Chains A and B, each alone.
Chain A
Amino acid sequence: METLGFLIDGFGVALAPENLIFGLMGAFLGTLIGALPGLGPSNGVAILIPLAFSLGLAPETALIMLTSVYAGAMYGGRISSILLNIPGDEPAMMTCLDGYPMAQKGKAAEALAISAVASFVGSLIATIGLILVAPVLADFALSFGPAEYFALFLVAFATLGGITGKNPMKMVVAACLGLMISTMGIDNTGVQRYTFGVLELYEGVDFILAIVGLFAISELLFFIEEKAGGGKQKMSVNKIDLSWSDIRHIMPSSIRGGILGFIAGVLPGAGASLGSFIGYTLEKKIVGKKGYFGQGDPRGVAAPEAGNNGASSGALVPMLTLGVPGSGTTAVLLALLISLNITPGPLMFTQNADIVWGVIAALLIGNFLLLILNIPMVGIFVKLLSVPPMFLLPIVTMIAFVGIYSISNTTFDLYFMVAFGVGGYILRKLEIPLVPIILGLLLGPEMEKNLRHAMDLSNGEWSILWNSGLAIGLWVFAGLGLILPYIVGPILRRRMKSEPSSVNEGD
């Protein structure tokens, strides 16, 4: 049991006092960010990255803090779903279906507690899954050559939109834009590309400011346009009245949801939204007529919550083992790894074993911390929900400025960040996804390097890119990732849409 030894070492890293403190802080901040409507996990992690970076934290500490933020935000997302009927992000959508009716019946505290327990179970299952699957996948990935990696990057792009994505061609546009920005600066051969003689561009565009601009600044502009929120009636939270038999009642649903979520998270392109969706639908099928789904059935809260938390830990598997993120937030975490000079991928498991296993152990510990934070302290988060976004978003913007400024101490980067924000706003209006841009920025240099190596190996013969069975398999997979949304997407989206409406009809 080699893995077990590594994991024990990992606990040694994660339990170091500094790491524990930053983990706890991350979990708290993450829950807060997740709870506030309008700020999802990717936003939260994006805004906190420059701060973690400028603090000069050790790599494993920074990574532990931000994975805790990620896990915390997935926990927090349910709070506004249950109390306000506003999902903090897409994966939290299914939690509204039974969570809000429970709150309307005066069972808000129970719904919150159930969702915390289910989130815990989902994350725990997925973290155990991660421990079992990741080393195997990393071993397998060691056999990848440059051609396979090139194809793997294409898979990452092609499946990023997910099978529920709308227009895959827009994903291609976004990926190209990101990759194009990544070619700015001095390339491997020492040639300047697209620097226009500007000194600041010689090192290329820093993806952290691109991420913060695209996520945080565009969110502010979007809010100004919509001026929504703030006017919703908030539920009051009663005292928790939850017995062991209640927990036993939801346990099977949580376990099933967690396993489904983990699978959805590991598979490229599926992600947390699908995790919570299949978690909920399967549960409804299994329980059948005996349940009262849509009218506040606790199992309808537990299954999707376990599903989306399972999926978020599952999404770390491809990110850690292949260096290919499966979701927006894991893409942001990947940015952190790269800026800490750690190359994600199979080699990380041998070269930076302490970091990988430290993070995995921290994830386990984080789950317990979050459970402890979330049951007694839920009242604090509920209070914070009443901060109106018109104060919140300007302050978040300020923090984004501070973070970016304190990395480089120049204002040049700030103009760039604002420009990315405006660009992000325009692209979001055109329904062009932002995550592929970031992924392009991140993976561009690696992709070009692998292309170059592959071509060197073959003396300039392009066919090397599809010369092995594995490479062909990956190309086919990438192709499917682009074509499937046209076929399966509309059906799936219609079903996900019809689910909430059928609830209103008392289905």
Chain B
Amino acid sequence: MTLNDRIFGVLMIVLAVAYGWGASQLPEPFGGSEGVGPDTFPLLLAVVLSLAGLYMVVQPDPDNAWPWSRTGIELIIAVVVLVLYAMLLQPLGFIFSTILVVGTLCWRMGSAPIRAFVTATIAGVVVFLLFGFALDLSLPLGVLSFMEVG
């Protein structure tokens, strides 16, 4: 099967057209047109990318299998967990969000749950202290902010 590259190639052509169209809509810079305006370089890129995309459609490489089924779900879990990390970092604080996220990742990657969360706790606390005291950078305390001194 050589479907992946073909689909990707088509996507790239679509992207190139959208990007090139976007460039053609850019306003002329103040002071009139020059040899190279803000749209020249993007238009060049759009042309090159659409040609390369076309090549991938015509001359695709063999496919790598996509991880459907269980592994695919694991991957989605991992991505969701990472997005949650970004969301929770400030409200929940670094230590708790790290315990949650690193623990879940270790666990889903095959560690026993208790070991996973113990590792995560140690990692979170150590990095927090290292950053706070040794490197003088503050990470968000979140729900622990009542502990803040001064």
Say whether B145 faces chain A, with CB atoms less than 8 Å apart: no
Please pick, from B37, B82, B116, the residue contacting A217 in the complex, using a CB distance under 8 A: B82
Say whether, besides A398-B102, A406-B139, A418-B82, A191 and B38 are in contact (CB < 8 Å).
Answer: yes
Nearest A-chain residue to B40, judged by Cβ: A451
Q: By the criterion CB–CB under 8 Å, are B36 and A451 in contact?
A: yes
Q: By the criterion CB–CB under 8 Å, are A183 and B29 in contact?
A: no
The listed residue with most B CB atoms (<10 A of its CB), out of A166, A395, A405, A425, is A395
Return chain A residues, CB-CB under 8 Å to B27.
Answer: 191
Please pick, from B34, B59, B74, B102, the residue contacting A395 in the complex, using a CB distance under 8 A: B102
Q: By the criterion CB–CB under 8 Å, are B127 and A398 in contact?
A: yes
Complex interface bits, A398-433 against B, C-beta within 8 A gives 1, otherwise 0 = 110110011000010011001001100100011110
Say whether A8 faces chain B, with CB atoms less than 8 Å apart: no
Say whether B14 faces chain A, with CB atoms less than 8 Å apart: no
Closest 10 CB pairs of A and B: A189-B29, A414-B86, A460-B35, A394-B105, A455-B35, A390-B109, A176-B49, A191-B38, A172-B52, A452-B36
Contacts from B to A (Cβ < 8 Å): 4-5, 8, 12, 16, 19, 22-23, 26-27, 29-30, 34-38, 40-42, 45, 48-49, 52-53, 55-56, 59, 61, 64, 66-67, 71, 74-75, 78-79, 82-83, 85-87, 89-90, 94, 98, 101-102, 105-106, 108-111, 116, 119-120, 123-124, 127, 131, 135, 137, 139
Would you give 18 A-B contacts (Cβ < 8 Å), ordered by A?
A169-B56, A170-B56, A187-B38, A190-B30, A194-B22, A391-B116, A393-B109, A394-B101, A394-B102, A395-B102, A395-B123, A398-B101, A405-B89, A406-B137, A414-B89, A418-B83, A422-B79, A452-B36
Say whether A495 faces chain B, with CB atoms less than 8 Å apart: no
Q: By the criterion CB–CB under 8 Å, are B119 and A391 in contact?
A: yes
Return chain B residues, CB-CB under 8 Å to A176.
Answer: 16, 45, 48-49, 52
Complex: how many Å from CA A217 to CA B66? 18
Q: By the criterion CB–CB under 8 Å, are A397 and B102 in contact?
A: yes
Q: By the criterion CB–CB under 8 Å, are A169 and B52 in contact?
A: yes
Please pick, from B5, B123, B135, the residue contacting A398 in the complex, using a CB distance under 8 A: B123
Return chain B residues, CB-CB under 8 Å to A415.
Answer: 83, 86
Nearest B-chain residue to A455, judged by Cβ: B35
Q: By the criterion CB–CB under 8 Å, are B45 and A180 in contact?
A: yes
Nearest B-chain residue to A444, judged by Cβ: B41
Q: By the criterion CB–CB under 8 Å, are B12 and A224 in contact?
A: no
Complex: how many Å from CA A430 to CA B4? 7
Nearest B-chain residue to A452, judged by Cβ: B36
State the Cβ distance, A140 to closest chain B Cβ, in Å. 27
Q: By the criterion CB–CB under 8 Å, are B89 and A411 in contact?
A: yes
Q: By the criterion CB–CB under 8 Å, are B127 and A431 in contact?
A: no
Q: By the criterion CB–CB under 8 Å, are A225 and B137 in contact?
A: no
Say whether A248 faces chain B, with CB atoms less than 8 Å apart: no
State the Cβ distance, B18 to closest chain A Cβ, in Å. 10
State the Cβ distance, A441 to closest chain B Cβ, in Å. 13
Interface SS majority for chain B:
helix
Complex: how many Å from CA A447 to CA B98? 40
Return chain A residues, CB-CB under 8 Å to B116.
Answer: 391
State the Cβ distance, A387 to closest chain B Cβ, in Å. 10
The listed residue with most A CB atoms (<10 A of its CB), out of B45, B61, B87, B131, is B45
Q: List CB contacts (< 8 Å) of A204-261 with chain B.
A: 217, 220-221, 223-225, 227
Interface size class of A (residues with CB under 8 A): 35 or more
Complex: how many Å from CA A415 to CA B90? 13
For the A-B complex with A170-B56, A394-B120 known, give 19 more contacts whose Cβ atoms are closer than 8 Å.
Answer: A166-B61, A169-B52, A170-B61, A173-B12, A173-B56, A180-B19, A193-B22, A193-B42, A221-B79, A225-B75, A227-B71, A388-B111, A391-B111, A394-B101, A411-B90, A415-B83, A418-B83, A452-B36, A455-B40
Nearest B-chain residue to A421, judged by Cβ: B82
Return chain B residues, CB-CB under 8 Å to A394.
Answer: 101-102, 105-106, 109, 120
State the Cβ distance, A27 to closest chain B Cβ, in Å. 19
Q: By the criterion CB–CB under 8 Å, are B38 and A172 in contact?
A: no
Q: By the criterion CB–CB under 8 Å, are A414 and B85 in contact?
A: yes
Complex: how many Å from CA A414 to CA B9? 29
Nearest A-chain residue to B106, judged by Cβ: A394
Return chain B residues, CB-CB under 8 Å to A183.
Answer: 41-42, 45
The listed residue with most A CB atoms (<10 A of its CB), out of B37, B78, B85, is B78
State the Cβ distance, B138 to closest chain A Cβ, in Å. 9
Please pick, from A402, A411, A422, the residue contacting B127 in the complex, using a CB distance under 8 A: A402
The listed residue with most A CB atoms (<10 A of its CB), out of B36, B40, B55, B85, is B36
The listed residue with most B CB atoms (<10 A of its CB), out of A225, A394, A402, A432, is A394
Please pick, from B4, B5, B36, B52, the residue contacting A455 in the complex, using a CB distance under 8 A: B36
Return chain B residues, CB-CB under 8 Å to A189.
Answer: 29-30, 34, 37-38
Please pick, from A391, A431, A451, the residue contacting B41 in the complex, using a CB distance under 8 A: A451
Say whether, besides A176-B52, A405-B139, A223 and B123 are in contact (CB < 8 Å).
Answer: no
Please pick, from B26, B90, B109, B137, the residue contacting A54 in the complex, using a CB distance under 8 A: B137
State the Cβ distance, A436 to closest chain B Cβ, in Å. 11
Say whether, besides A393-B109, A398-B127, A411-B89, A225 and B42 are in contact (CB < 8 Å).
Answer: no
Q: By the criterion CB–CB under 8 Å, are B61 and A431 in contact?
A: yes
Please pick, from B83, B102, B109, the residue contacting A223 in the complex, using a CB distance under 8 A: B109
Q: By the criterion CB–CB under 8 Å, are A180 and B119 in contact?
A: no
Q: By the criterion CB–CB under 8 Å, are A169 and B55 in contact?
A: yes
Q: By the criterion CB–CB under 8 Å, are A430 and B5 in contact?
A: yes
Say whether, besides A191-B29, A221-B79, A224-B75, A390 and B110 are in contact (CB < 8 Å).
Answer: yes
State the Cβ distance, B136 to closest chain A Cβ, in Å. 9
Complex: how many Å from CA A167 to CA B61? 8
Return chain B residues, CB-CB under 8 Å to A191.
Answer: 26-27, 29, 38
Nearest B-chain residue to A447, judged by Cβ: B41
Complex: how many Å from CA A390 to CA B104? 11
Please pick, from B16, B55, B74, B98, the residue contacting A224 in the complex, using a CB distance under 8 A: B74
Complex: how many Å from CA A322 to CA B42? 24
Return chain B residues, CB-CB under 8 Å to A297.
Answer: none
State the Cβ distance, A149 to closest chain B Cβ, in Å. 14
Say whether A459 faces chain B, with CB atoms less than 8 Å apart: yes
